[in-house]
Amino acid sequence: QEEQAPKFKITIQKADTDDSCATFSFYKEDHTLGNLLRNTLIKNKEVEFVAYTVPHPSEPFMNVRIQAVN
């Protein structure tokens, strides 16, 4: 059975109560993009925290969590 592709390459999940943080999920991306984004974003003085995860090798998603300075 072929995998159903999502409608969008990137989805954004924001916290209801905090506009300074969000999680971005990238479809069919891995550590290559995650590490590049983390290293680039953390250099920005407006970014307080950034991390990425690849939940499981069989899942086609990579998640990036970003928290900005208030």
> Alpha carbon of 21 to those of 4, 32, 66: distances in Å?
29, 22, 5
What pLDDT, in 10s, does the model give residues 4-44?
A: 778 899 999 998 888 899 999 999 999 999 999 999 999 99
What pLDDT, in 10s, does the model give residues 52-70?
A: 999 998 999 999 999 999 7
Which helix (DSSP H) or strand (DSSP E) does residue 47 occupy?
A: strand 47-53
Threshold 0.75, pTM exceeds: yes
- What are the counts of helices (DSSP H) followed by strands (DSSP E) for the chain? 1, 4
> In the sheet that 21-27 helps form, which strands lie side by side, from edge to edge?
10-14, 21-27, 61-68, 47-53
pLDDT of the residue at 2: 63
Quick check: 1 pLDDT over 80?
Answer: no
